[in-house]
Amino acid sequence: MILFILLLNVVCGCLFYFTLKKRKYTIPERTALLIILYTSGVMSLTITMNVQLLLHLYNYSMFITTLIGLGIGVGFGSIFTRESIIMGYNHGFIGGLMGAMLSAVILNPSLCGLPASYGNSIGKNAFIFSLFSFFLSALSIFTFHVSIVRHPFRSNGRQC
């Protein structure tokens, strides 16, 4: 089930990436930088959390999830300017680490000093957080889709 939710998160990210790429010339630069900050952080958080939940038995899983977060951030940042690549890199890296750490706490609640009784429901907690990650990514994509596609930016003769 976590793999299915991971695929849904990847599809949401790809759809939004191609929507941004298609409309990159109609979005003002300030708004574009804010979109890159938000989407690279949220997408890398949700996708890397699910990847870490799937690959938690491997020693190199933390490294892989961090690289995935970096790739997501650079991918979203490369749509606009050089500055947005750097910002996407930064927020993708941070989101990748946060997703990996969140899934590590889900799988081992004693890392945060939670009682041992939480360890009995690891599978249920992993599913709940994975489902929450899908709702988080879907909500963020829907919010930006409404602001970009349904209400496009107009210049009104001014420079943005």
pTM: 0.86
Q: CB count, 10 Å around CB of 150?
A: 7
Residue 86 above 80 pLDDT?
A: yes
Is the model's pLDDT at 118 over the cut of 80? no
Mean pLDDT (the chain) is 86
pLDDT at 46: 93
Asked if pLDDT for residue 157 goes beyond 50, the answer is: no
Q: How confident is the model at residue 106 (pLDDT cuts 50, 70, 90)?
A: confident
Q: How many residues does the chain have?
A: 160
Place of tokens 């947005």: 84
pLDDT value of position 116: 67
Is residue 30 predicted with pLDDT exceeding 90? no
Residues whose CB is less than 8 angstroms from the CB of residue 1 and which lie 6 or more positions away in sequence, other chains included? 127, 130
Enumerate the domain spans of the chain.
Answer: 29-108+121-148
Q: What percent of the chain has pLDDT over 70?
A: 91
Per-residue pLDDT band for 153 (boundaries 50, 70, 90) equals low
On the question of pLDDT at 17 being above 70, the answer is yes
